[in-house]
Amino acid sequence: MATASPERGISRDWFFTKGGTCRPGRVVIRHRLGRGTRCAVLALLCLAVFAPSAAQSAEPTWLVGTGTGVTAARALHGERIAPGIRVIRGTAASARRLSRMPGVRFVERNRRYSASSITAPSDPLYGRQWALRSTRVRAAWLATLGDGVPVAVLDSGLDLSNPDLAGNVWTNPDEIAGNGVDDDGNGFIDDVHGADTVGQDGDPSDGLGHGTAVASVIGARGDNGFGLSGMAWDASLMPVKVLHDQGWGTTGTLIAGLRYALDEGARIVNMSVNGPEQSQALAEAIAQAEARGVLVVTSAGNDGKNRDRVASYPASERSRTVITVASATRRGGLARGSAFGRASVDIAAPGDDVITSDLGGRFTRRAGTSFAAAYVTGAAALLAAAHPEASGSRLRAALVASARRGGRVDAQIAGGQLDAAAALRRLGRLRPR
C-alpha cells in the first residue's frame, strides 16, 4: 500500500476532522500526505478505520483533504480551522489509532483556554483571597466586572489616594473641583468625589480605615498588578463619610448620607453600621431608596445576638430593598460574633480573616459583618451592571434565592451563602461580555 512520505512528493497539508465545529473535548489532528493515489488510498484507509457502524452512526469520523480524495472529505462536512489543522469528534481510542497512521504528525485534545485577566488577575494578593473563591465571583466576572455602577459606601470615608481604589472613585459630573462653590446646589461645596455629612463638606477622606477596607472588598481595582481584587473591579465607588474618625455617627449623619447617595444616583448603598434603636426618619429614608429602586446592603452586627429577638438598625428594617448579611467562615459556619436570625438575616458572606486594603495602601486582615456586607454589595453591583433595569428589590430577591445551601450557617439565617455566579444566572445572564 502506498503511504504518505515526508521525504518525497509532499504537496500540501491534509487534515482529519471528526465533528463539524471546533469545541473543547474534540480531537485536533494534523498530518501530511503526498499526491495522487497515496491520498486516495489513505482516505479509504481512514474511512475504514473510523467509519461508524450503524450503532455508532451518531459519531461519524471524517477525513478532510484538499487534493485527490477531496470529494470524500467534503462529504464528511469537516471544519478547517487553520492551514494544516482540522477538528474531529472522536474517542480517545480512535485518536490513538489515528496518531499511529502514516503521515499524521500529532493528535491532541482540543483543550479549553480562558482569558487570564478574567480568571487569574495579576493582583499579588489574589491567591490569598479565599472569599472570592467562596463567592464564585470568577464565573460572574465572565459576564460583567461592574461597568461603572455607582455604589455608595456610607462609612468612615475613603482614602482617595489609595492606589488600589483611586481608579474606581466616583466623580460628581456637576461639580467643579477647587472653585469653592457648590456648583450643583446639593449643599456640599466641592464634593467632587463624595461628601462628608459629619463635617458637612465635600471631603470624604477616611481617618479611621474602616470605610477604605469596606470599599476595597467591594471594588478594589482588579488585574492591575497591585494589592488585591475587589468583587466588582469596575464599579464606581461613591464615598459618603457618615462616621467620625473614632468610628461613630448619628441618625442624622446616616440619613443625610443616604439622601446624598440617592440624589447622586447610587444604585447600591452599603451601610456597614449598626445601632440599637429604630428611627422613623431612617425608615423613611430607606423607603425612599426602595421607591427609587436602590438596594441597601446592611451588616447584621457583631454582637452575636439573634436578630429575631434583639433588633439592630438599619439591619432590622423591614423593607424589600434591604438585605441583611451575616458573617461566614471559610468552612461555611457562622463566624464568631456574627449576629444571626432565621427570620431577620437574609444571607451570609465571607467575613472572617478577609484581606482588605487600608490607609496608605497597606493591607490588613479583618473580620466582621461589615466586610460580609461588602461582599454582597460587590455581587449586587455585578448584578446591577448586567441588569440595569432591575430594581433593588429584584436584586435582593435574586441574591437571596440563589444563595448556596447546605452549609452549617443555613440553620441560623433565612438564606444560604452568597453565590455571585448563581445570582447572575438567576437574573438570566451569565455569559461572556
Residue 72: pLDDT over 60: no
Contacts of 74 (CB under 8 A, 6+ apart): 64
Nearest partner of 200 among 188, 208, 192, judged by Cα:
188
- Residue range 116-426, CATH number: 3.40.50.200
Sign of torsion, CA 154 155 160 162?
A: negative
| pLDDT the model gives residue 299 | 98
Residue of 210, 229, 234, 272 with catalytic role: 210
Confidence grade of residue 278 (pLDDT, cut at 50, 70, 90): very high
| pLDDT the model gives residue 121 | 86
3-class SS of residue 421: helix
Percent of the chain with pLDDT over 70: 71
Secondary structure string (H, E, C) spanning 68-113: CCHHHHHHCCCEEEECCEEEECCCHHHHHHHHCCCCEEEEEECCCC
Residue range 341-358: mean pLDDT, rounded = 97
DSSP track, 345-408? --EEEE-SSEEEE-GGG-EEEE-SHHHHHHHHHHHHHHHHHH-TT--HHHHHHHHHHTPBPSST
65 vs 115, more confident: 115
| pLDDT the model gives residue 100 | 66
Residue type, 250: T
Cα(375)–Cα(280) distance, integer angstroms: 28
Residue type, 104: V
50 vs 354, more confident: 354
Cα(44)–Cα(2) distance, integer angstroms: 12
Q: What is the domain partition of the chain in residue ranges?
A: 10-109, 116-426
Confidence grade of residue 120 (pLDDT, cut at 50, 70, 90): confident
Residue 235 belongs to what H/E stretch?
none
Q: Are strands 354-357 and 62-64 parallel, antiparallel or unpaired?
A: unpaired
| pLDDT the model gives residue 91 | 53
Nearest partner of 137 among 320, 374, 393, judged by Cα:
374
Percent of the chain with pLDDT over 90: 68
Whether residue 214 contacts residue 374, with contact meaning beta carbons closer than 8 Å, is answered with: yes
Nearest partner of 253 among 230, 238, 273, 233, judged by Cα:
273
- End-to-end, the C-alpha distance of the chain in Å comes to 52
Nearest partner of 380 among 195, 121, 137, judged by Cα:
137
Q: Which of 109-118, 157-166, 275-284, 288-297 has the lowest mean pLDDT?
A: 109-118
Residue of 370, 391, 410, 419 with catalytic role: 370
Residue 133: pLDDT over 60: yes
Cα(357)–Cα(169) distance, integer angstroms: 14
Nearest partner of 206 among 256, 255, 169, judged by Cα:
169
User: Is residue 210 annotated as a catalytic residue, yes or no?
Assistant: yes
314 upstream amide cis, omega within 30 of 0? yes
| pLDDT the model gives residue 401 | 95
Q: What is the mean pLDDT of the chain?
A: 81
pLDDT tens digit string along 246-267? 999 999 999 999 999 999 999 9
Residue range 134-160: mean pLDDT, rounded = 95
Cα(347)–Cα(366) distance, integer angstroms: 19
User: Is residue 319 annotated as a catalytic residue, yes or no?
Assistant: no
Backbone angles phi, psi at 195, to 5 degrees: -145, 165
3-class SS of residue 271: strand
pTM: 0.74
Residue 317 belongs to what H/E stretch?
none
Q: Which of 2-6, 213-217, 286-290, 306-310 has the lowest mean pLDDT?
A: 2-6
Nearest partner of 155 among 242, 252, 274, 267, judged by Cα:
242
Residue 98: pLDDT over 70: no
Residue of 13, 94, 123, 155 with catalytic role: 155
Confidence grade of residue 104 (pLDDT, cut at 50, 70, 90): low
Query: How many CB atoms sit inside 10 A of residue 140's CB?
Result: 26
